[in-house]
Structure 1
Amino acid sequence: MARAPLPIGTWGAISTWVVQTDAKGKPIKHKSQARFRDHDGHLRPVSAYGKTKTAAERALLTKLQDRAKTNQSGELTAMHKINHLLDLWEKRFEGLIADGTRSRTSLDTYRRVLKNHVRPALGELRIGEATTPRLDTVLTKIKDRAGAPTAKTCRAVISGAMKLAVRYGAISVNPVREVDTIEAKTKNPPRALTAEEVTLLRKSLAADDRAVQADLPDLVTFMLGTGVRIGEALATVWSDVDLEAGTVEIGCCRRS
């Protein structure tokens, strides 16, 4: 059975050997080498040297890690952490705000879900580890914990970041594309209060000293009688009321 290929941006076993000794035969130079699978899929040897075996291996690991962080665009690879990708996405969004194509309010909302949900769940993973099943599981947990609207916002943020990763060549397909659509539960339709509920509400307000001091009984009675919204009710002044005709001008109907 053929051995599975190394994942892109990773390396195989490290080999180290002595390449130079002093006059007494004591090793004074070591070479460490490993095969690295580059982002074009080809395996290439990477080497480093050191006075000791440990120094040579440490130097090689540094070279391998640096190589994994660099792709053709020089900015992003599948081996980068998602936190790094999200930093780039935020920076790009800042640019869109400066261009006037996005709003600061949207970024504030996105940063909230990034801090509270997306980064804790995905930030330490590599970009290449953000598979569709994994993202689907994460978004389902966010929906269960914080609700469908928050999960939808998280989905939008993750999708935007992964789209950026595709543009930079770190991945070839946006894994969010096949994630299940997040559906919110159907809200109960609004209903009018029953006659019994209206009576109970008015009696309860009339019996509450704090409610009476705040004129809530009058306000609620006015809203029940007219059907206006709270903002419209609070904006009504005496000049809007015609007691003889039994009418009141509301909102946009008011004369200037």
Structure 2
Amino acid sequence: MSRPPLPIGTWGQISTWVTKTDDKGKPITYKSQAKFRDHDGHVRLVSAYGKNKTTAERALLKKLQDRAKTNQTGELTAMHKISHLIDLWEKRFEGLVADGKRSPTSLDTYRRVIKNYIRPALGEIRIGEANTPRLDTVISQIKCTAGAPTAKTCRAVISGAMKLAVRYGAISVNPVREVDAIETQAKNPPRSLTAEEVILLRQHLAADERAVQADLPDLVTFMLGTGVRIGESLAALWSEVDLDAGTVEITSTIVRVKGEGLLRKRTKSRAGQRLLHLPEWAAAVLRARNAAGIRLDDPIFTDTIGGFRDPTNVRRSLRTALSPVGSTARRDLGLSLRALRRQAHLTRKQVAETLNWPQTRIELIETGRIKVDHQQIAALVTTYSIRLENHHPLLAQLHDATQPADSDKLAWIRSHALRKATATALDEAGHTARQIADQLGQAKVSITQDIYLARRAANPAAAEALQRAFEEPDLP
């Protein structure tokens, strides 16, 4: 019976012998050799040399192991660099975007983390070297420097790339699978605007000249009356509005794609394409705008030249309009802190590493977009070799920046809070979660329930139901 062949990617017995001696006959070079079965099925001899038997055999084993990795079938091998793997993964994702299966904004997000975090940390490492401990260390470092959300995005990209490497045969197991899940603090429960806050919000925007110039009052009214996303509201055309029936058809959304500008594209899912009935107060806003003169192929909410508006710019305008009075003082404080950092010849990244803060926190402080306290600023300026107690102008700015303002109660509101307000109002009116999800354009009811519906008070009828179900019988 013939001997079975070597499995592909394996080798047979290693033989070692002396190939060279010195003048005294002492061995100075050894050769180790073994038969290796390549990926094409052919058996070839592989050799290595060393000064002694042990080093020759070790050198041969290393060559055999590397050959086993590099002779996997497919476009990738374990010896390719991760940078090459990322390029392939990007091309595949671009194809999914072109097919309409993925959002171009997701591609922009992934490209950003690839450029800023993944390539610098892993680009020169070979695929076969990317084991679980190494990837776990890299992702943990990203979490410390950039925060948990960025680390989660990086983990998703690396996992997708390694999954592609498995499919191409470069590796056999996705090493990201065993990397610890990134734990973050529990999200705040969904918060919805109360009826009083809605009134205050609309009054505040109507009285704010900058908000009126940014066309925010009507836009916010439309979003409250429909529950649509900000990109969907900016993509809505007059041709999709039926003022007689009081309806608007939502079919598209506006996104900004790097290198292409603003694009109007179909909603992410079929659930996003829906016909919505307008409450009378929202329909009245559209009638007033319609009476001013429109073209059917124009957006309902246009920019200054009649084109589509950028959702990011609109969000920024809303944040500015709802910033508390103290935000001006916070911005002034942020500018002073930025100047002090630059005088110290430090980057935001260096400061964040020193304080073990996410780098985004430094940016938010310097742009005046978060509230600060004495302890936080004292720790920050210490890295600039400054004692806060001795810097009286900075202390004065900090005092002004920490003062409360009446408009603080609106400062938390973002565009998504309007959707939550619409969802919660429908919930309190007795609509089912499925009906609310359809209104919001969401395929999964669980997302609507977990993220968009504010928790109501405990159900008082529960006690009555339990009383009837388990009422204590008369005991003998």
Q: Quickly name the TM-score band, shorter chain normalised.
A: 0.5 to 0.7
1:122 to 1:35, Cα distance in 2 relative to 1, 3 A: farther
Query: Which range moved further: 140-149 or 88-97?
Result: 88-97
Q: Could you tell me how far apart the structure 1 residues matched to 2:167 and 2:76 are?
A: 10
Q: Could you tell me how far apart the structure 2 residues matched to 1:220 and 1:124 are?
A: 52
Residues 88-125 of structure 1 deviation map (CA, whole Å, 9 limit, x = unaligned):
11111122222221222211111110010011111111
Letter paired with 1:134: R
Q: Secondary structure at the match of 2:182?
A: coil
Q: Which structure 2 residues correspond to residues 92-107 of structure 1 after superposition, within 5 A?
A: 92-107=92-107
Q: Secondary structure at the match of 2:142?
A: helix
What's 1:234 paired with?
A: 216
Residues 113-160 of structure 1 deviation map (CA, whole Å, 9 limit, x = unaligned):
001001111111111111112111111110111011111110110010
Letter paired with 2:123: G
The alpha-carbon deviation at position 169 of structure 1 amounts to 0.7
What's 1:22 paired with?
A: none
Letter paired with 2:217: A
Q: Could you tell me how far apart the structure 1 residues matched to 2:74 and 2:147 are?
A: 38
Q: Which structure 2 residues correspond to residues 55-134 of structure 1 after superposition, within 5 A?
A: 71-134=71-134
Letter paired with 1:119: R
Q: Which structure 2 residues correspond to residues 100-249 of structure 1 after superposition, within 5 A?
A: 100-186=100-186, 222-223=203-204, 234-236=216-218
Letter paired with 2:178: E
1:43 to 1:114, Cα distance in 2 relative to 1, 3 A: farther
Q: Could you tell me how far apart the structure 2 residues matched to 1:133 and 1:69 are?
A: 19
1:88 to 1:191, Cα distance in 2 relative to 1, 3 A: closer
Stretches of structure 1 lacking an aligned partner (at least 5 in a row): 1-7, 19-31, 48-63, 193-218, 225-229, 238-248
Residues 216-237 of structure 1 deviation map (CA, whole Å, 9 limit, x = unaligned):
xxx979349xxxxx89993259
Q: Could you tell me how far apart the structure 2 residues matched to 1:253 and 1:33 are?
A: 88
Letter paired with 2:91: K
Q: Could you tell me how far apart the structure 2 residues matched to 1:253 and 1:136 are?
A: 56
Q: Could you tell me how far apart the structure 2 residues matched to 1:221 and 1:74 are?
A: 60
Q: Could you tell me how far apart the structure 2 residues matched to 1:186 and 1:220 are?
A: 28
Q: Could you tell me how far apart the structure 2 residues matched to 1:103 and 1:160 are?
A: 16
1:255 to 1:119, Cα distance in 2 relative to 1, 3 A: closer
Query: 1:83, 1:123 within 8 Å by CA — same for their partners in 2?
Result: yes
Identity percentage of aligned residues: 66
What's 1:57 paired with?
A: none
Letter paired with 1:129: E
Q: Could you tell me how far apart the structure 1 residues matched to 2:96 and 2:174 are?
A: 21
The alpha-carbon deviation at position 177 of structure 1 amounts to 1.0
Letter paired with 2:85: L
Query: 1:79, 1:128 within 8 Å by CA — same for their partners in 2?
Result: yes
Letter paired with 1:173: V
Q: Could you tell me how far apart the structure 1 residues matched to 2:179 and 2:283 are?
A: 45
Query: 2:155, 2:176 within 8 Å by CA — same for their partners in 1?
Result: yes
Letter paired with 1:86: I
What's 1:210 paired with?
A: none
Q: Could you tell me how far apart the structure 1 residues matched to 2:35 and 2:105 are?
A: 44
How many pairs align?
A: 177
Q: Which structure 2 residues correspond to residues 23-34 of structure 1 after superposition, within 5 A?
A: none
Q: Could you tell me how far apart the structure 2 residues matched to 1:220 and 1:98 are?
A: 40
1:87 to 1:191, Cα distance in 2 relative to 1, 3 A: closer
Letter paired with 1:222: Q
Q: Could you tell me how far apart the structure 1 residues matched to 2:164 and 2:104 are?
A: 20
Q: Could you tell me how far apart the structure 1 residues matched to 2:142 and 2:44 are?
A: 42
The alpha-carbon deviation at position 176 of structure 1 amounts to 0.9
TM-score by length of 2: 0.30
The alpha-carbon deviation at position 45 of structure 1 amounts to 2.4
Query: 2:166, 2:173 within 8 Å by CA — same for their partners in 1?
Result: yes
1:128 to 1:254, Cα distance in 2 relative to 1, 3 A: same
Q: Secondary structure at the match of 1:160?
A: helix
Q: Could you tell me how far apart the structure 1 residues matched to 2:165 and 2:124 are?
A: 16
Query: 2:36, 2:46 within 8 Å by CA — same for their partners in 1?
Result: no
Q: Secondary structure at the match of 1:45?
A: strand
What's 1:5 paired with?
A: none
The alpha-carbon deviation at position 254 of structure 1 amounts to 4.7
Letter paired with 1:145: T
Q: Could you tell me how far apart the structure 1 residues matched to 2:101 and 2:128 are?
A: 30
